[in-house]
Structures are given as C-alpha cells and as structure tokens.
Structure 1
C-alpha cells in the first residue's frame, strides 16, 4: 500500500475572509465593536481590530434564515468565485459569534445536520441571518505578509443583534479587551492601516443606512496596488 502525506498548508495563499463592523448609537455618538489581537498572533499582533476571520469550508453550505440583499450579493460575487457571497455572509455571522459572543440570527431550528464549526452557534437556538449585513469595503492583504486575506467588510447595526451588545461572556479568547469605541476617539488606539482606511468609510456612513453607491476595493497583488470601486447593480426580475 502506498503511503501518502498531506501537503502542507500554504499560509501565504490569499484566503477569503469576512469582517464585521458593528455600529451602535449612530445618531448620537457612533461607536464600533473592537478587540485586541494577542501579542503572539502571526497576523497583526497587538492591533485593535474588528471581529472577523477566514471562510471555513462548511460556511458555503450553511442554510441562512435570511439571505444578504441582492445588491450586496451581486457586489460580493463580482470578480470572485461564483456564489462566494453566501459563504462570506455565513462566515461573518460565525466569526462575530466566535470572537465576541454576539448573535446575528433568528430563533429557529436548524434544518438537517449542523456543521462542526457551527455547533456552539446552533446551541443558542438561532439560525444565522444575513439580511442586516451591508457590504461596504473589500481589501486584499499586500504581498510579503505572514498571512494574506481577501477580506470583505460588512457594516451591521447593533440593533439587529439578538444578544446583549454589552455581554461578551460567550466570546472565545482570540480577541481581548472587547469594547465599544467611539469613532471620534478610535485613532488613539493601535490600528492596522487598512482599519484606518475602512473607518473613514464608516464615519461617512454612520448616519446613513442606505446602500452605498459603490464599494471601495483596495486590491494588492504582486504587480501593483489599485483602489477600485465595485458598482454591481442588483439583479432584476
């Protein structure tokens, strides 16, 4: 019998990822939910970041209680693998739950078997729902970094959460110092460059919950860096 060995994971390969910018008090003094990455983290150690992470294999098969808006799905799928929008939306909900303990979903039983990575979320009695997520930014990590992601940023109003926005007791330990930070004070924290760029978009949209006319796309590849705009229109019947 021939013995085979698994190929090592290429940690420099670009992975699809979802990041969630949870916003509260938008009409008074807007605040966003952030946490600090560990000092030994391979990617952005010690930085204050939004909750998020890479898409898992099972995310694309998750049956969402409510899908993304047609416009967000169209823009997410633009220039990407077909149907990536569903997996990204599910990953956003899962990462938000894992890193902050916050629930974005609807009280409902799961149809069929629950994927392993979703057992703790399903245990809350909710199914993930994506209709409150608004796609607002996309960025690819520049070459030469220890990890590279094609990250899609979603804006979410805290009122859509099914959980207490101040309760982080169910969060994993990947992020520490979870807290709501006022947008006008956030630059006092140690932030990644791309987070500062995204925050400019968030500040501009804090009091406007309509879909943006276009979504900024900061594309970094081996040849050049480009700042593009995703303008996909919603499908029509």
Structure 2
C-alpha cells in the first residue's frame, strides 16, 4: 500500500425488496473534478480527524478510522446516520437523526466540526461493527487523482429517510444492481468501471442477508488495475465477472 495515496471509504447501503435488493446510489455534480456526473456509492476521502472518533466506535478493528470515514461520508452525502444512542442497542431513531442532521450535517460537511465533536454533542456511538468489508481498489498508476479505497456494505435503518446533499450529490436513487447495469449499458446513466464491478458482484445475491454473508466469507484481494495492450486488467483472484475490459469502454470514450 503506497502511503502517498489518500485513503477513501465507499459504502453500499442496502435494503431488501420483493424481487431484488436495492442499493442507494448518488449522482455526483457534473462540475466535480473526480467522477463528475457519475452514479456512485456514497463515500469520500479519509480525514485525519476521523481517527480520534475511534473511541466512539462499536468495534475496535484495525480499519476502525476508515469505518468512521465511511459513516461520516454517508451522513454528509445522504443524511443516513449509522449510529446509536450511547449504551443503546438499535439505530438512532429517525426523529433524533433529523435533529442531528439539522444541527450538524452542514457543519460536518464544511469541516467546521468533526466526528468526535458530533459524538460528544449528541451522546452517540458510531455503529462501525455493522460495516462489512466488500472490496479494496487502488486507482491505477498515472491517474491524475489516486485513492486507496475500501468498499463496505451495510443494511440501512428502514426508518431513515435519505436526502442527497445538493452539493457534491445532485440526485439519489434506490436501484437494483441489475437495473443500474442495464441503465448504464443503455447509456442512460454513467457508471465507472470500478462501480460496475461492485454492482456485478453485488448482483449475485438477491437479498441483503445473502450479500452480507457472501462478503463475510470472501477473501478480499486488492485490485490495482493495469493497462496492457489497450485493455484495463484486474486480477482473476479478485473474483469479478471479468478480468479485463477494452480501455475505451472502461474510460467511457
């Protein structure tokens, strides 16, 4: 792992539906320098201040600071808060979540407060134990912006109403993996290569429980795509449906 590459966390927020589970995706603003206009999972860059919030986490895993990043980004982008009342058991109720969002969401997004201050102000703990690692991708060498990104999966609280932030994200949608991929193939949506790979793997399961169980059993192989002979290639061991794709297709050119 190259230390100079910034860490990032991305979250697949899942909910069950009769035919196929759905994942929450957001459309990035066209003017964003990174993935502008694309349909993505909520997520973003790790902030050093997230490390201090580990003492308010519900697990002590090695990646707990990055899990805090994941929870912060989901809250900033979608308003969904993966937290519980301190010493509680279930998610923060939606009424309290709305109050927390009104008081702190914009301040958190602007960097005017951090996750430690949020936990202390609202007497909450971050439910890091519910996040299940799903994938690990590093942006290819030579790309103008590179990130060392961990993907996590989690079942969302059913009563939490999401709302995209209107800044980085201009729209949001609950969508099945199969529908998202079909929309991308029909050029109705722009979805990047790494996101399509996660959707394809997610789509192997129809329920949230099945997806989470599969992720817990799987061995995560770091994917650092390489460009060879006009193709973008990824390791077979990473267990995606393909190991290479024409560069023009992968880069939407």
In 1, the alpha carbon distance for the partners of 2:166 and 2:51 equals: 22
Unaligned 5+ runs, structure 2 = 88-107, 184-188, 239-253
Equivalent pair of 1:219/1:228 in contact (CA under 8 Å): no
Secondary structure of 1:131's counterpart equals helix
In 1, the alpha carbon distance for the partners of 2:19 and 2:79 equals: 25
2:29 aligned residue: 38
Unaligned 5+ runs, structure 1 = 1-12, 74-82, 231-237
TM-score (norm 2): 0.68
In 1, the alpha carbon distance for the partners of 2:22 and 2:130 equals: 17
1:10 aligned residue: none
In 2, the alpha carbon distance for the partners of 1:18 and 1:36 equals: 17
Q: 1:61 to 1:48 in 2, by over 3 A?
A: same
1:101 aligned residue: 79
2:104 aligned residue: none
Cα deviation 1:191-223 (Å, max 9, x = unaligned): 011000011121124431321331242124799
Matched, 1:174 2:172: no
In 2, the alpha carbon distance for the partners of 1:58 and 1:103 equals: 18
Secondary structure of 1:14's counterpart equals coil
In 1, the alpha carbon distance for the partners of 2:58 and 2:166 equals: 25
2:113 aligned residue: 116
2:218 aligned residue: 213
1:202 aligned residue: 202
1:66 aligned residue: 58
| Total equivalences in the alignment | 196
- 1:34 deviates by 0.7
Structure with the largest fraction of helix: 2
1:55 aligned residue: 46
Secondary structure of 2:199's counterpart equals helix
Equivalent pair of 2:56/2:119 in contact (CA under 8 Å): no
More moved, 21-30 vs 121-130? 121-130
Structure with the largest fraction of strand: 1
Equivalent pair of 2:78/2:163 in contact (CA under 8 Å): yes
In 2, the alpha carbon distance for the partners of 1:205 and 1:67 equals: 26
CA RMSD of aligned residues (A): 2.9
TM-score (norm 1): 0.72
In 1, the alpha carbon distance for the partners of 2:131 and 2:163 equals: 20
